[in-house]
């Protein structure tokens, strides 16, 4: 059985000290490929480096909405440079996030040092990156928090990659799934959604069309419930613990259960979906 992580950040500094162990554990967990998403100009070279060293890594480049406010004047040139440098390169993580503007605590340690770009500025940067993905027909991995109406409108008005795009860790309303799917959306289920209180999100993922379903860890972010973690989290310099990307197998098992299917059948379907969207050869 081959597992595919549709969205993570393997290059992240929280995971860097444990890399050797992580790649060994991912092999044990039968993870065949992982889309590794850069989020800022500063981390794009690290994604590129990791992709050179490990065939499991599918490199993806984007300016994440949290990082939009700190981009340099050369960001577009730098972005295109990464895409041009590797024929496997794809687009993401890009997106829209109103949570950082409306709901995030001012002292959230993950947001320290970031200028929180207002919605109009996020939109401009998102649209530009999406247009590049559309023009090159590259899959785009999209982050959306508290902005699903605006996201749908934006996608309806935009040129989109004809091969489709990913709404990673989709947390929007179940009613909006058909509208997004019609535009070419895939939806990735995150292991954090196995948290007992996240029942609404499990209901959402029970309704995603089977040919648009994927799974992801978002590691080192979004831990699974501690009692389900097969690979223990890593300590970090902050109080947070880093999600181990080899927990993807647990995510698959939880998704199979909520979809009422066996693991092997689900894994085969997710493999087809992953290879179709991410232009990834065997």
* Residues that bind Zn ion in the complex, under the rule CB under 5 A: 93, 218
Closer CB to Zn ion, 41 or 218, in the complex: 218
Burial of 185 (0-12, 13-18, 19+ CB in 10 A): buried
Residue nearest to Zn ion (CB): 218
Between residues 142 and 160, which has the closer beta carbon with respect to Zn ion?
A: 142
The CB-of-7 to Zn ion minimum distance in angstroms stands at 6
* Between 217 and 273, CB nearer to Zn ion: 217
Question: Concatenated DSSP letters for 23-84?
Answer: HHHHHHTTEEEEEEE--STTTHHHHHHHHHH-TTEEEEE---GGGGGG--TTHHHHHHHHHH
Choose between 92 and 164: whose C-beta lies nearer to Zn ion. 92
Shortest Å distance, C-beta 37 to Zn ion: 5
Distance in Å, CB of 264 to Zn ion, minimum: 28
CA distance 249 to 4: 9
Instruction: Report the candidate in 124, 180, 117, 107 with the shortest Cα–Cα distance to residue 148.
Output: 180
CB of 170 to Zn ion, least distance (A): 12
Question: Measured from the CB atom, is 220 or 249 closer to Zn ion?
Answer: 220
Q: DSSP letters of 217-229?
A: --TTSSPPPGGG-
Distance of closest approach, residue 36 Cβ to Zn ion, in angstroms = 10
């Amino acid at each position: 059985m081959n597992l595919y992580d549709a969205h993570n950040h393997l290059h992240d500094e929280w995971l860097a000290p444990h890399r050797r162990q992580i790649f060994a554990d991912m092999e044990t967990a039968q993870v065949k490929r992982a889309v590794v998403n850069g989020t800022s100009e500063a981390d794009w070279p690290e994604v590129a480096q990791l992709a050179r060293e490990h065939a499991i890594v599918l490199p993806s480049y984007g300016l994440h909405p949290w990082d939009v406010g700190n981009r340099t004047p050369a960001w577009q040139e730098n972005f295109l440079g990464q895409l041009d440098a590797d024929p496997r390169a794809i687009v993401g993580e890009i997106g829209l996030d109103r949570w950082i503007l409306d709901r995030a605590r001012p002292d959230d340690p993950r947001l320290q040092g970031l200028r929180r770009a207002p919605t109009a500025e996020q939109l401009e940067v998102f649209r530009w990156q999406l247009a590049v993905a559309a023009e090159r027909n590259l899959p785009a991995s999209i982050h959306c928090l508290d902005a699903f109406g605006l996201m749908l409108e934006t996608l309806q008005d935009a040129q989109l990659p004809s091969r489709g795009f990913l709404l990673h860790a989709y947390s929007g309303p179940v009613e909006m799934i058909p509208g997004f799917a019609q535009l070419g959306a895939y939806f990735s289920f995150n292991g954090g959604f196995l948290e007992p209180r996240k029942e609404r999100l499990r209901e959402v993922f029970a309704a995603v069309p089977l040919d648009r379903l994927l799974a992801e860890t978002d590691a080192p972010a979004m831990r699974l419930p501690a009692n389900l973690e097969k690979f223990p989290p890593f300590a970090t310099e902050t109080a947070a613990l880093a999600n181990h990307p080899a927990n993807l197998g647990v995510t698959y098992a939880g998704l199979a259960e909520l979809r009422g299917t066996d693991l092997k059948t689900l894994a085969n379907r997710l493999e087809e979906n992953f290879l179709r969207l991410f232009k990834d050869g065997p």
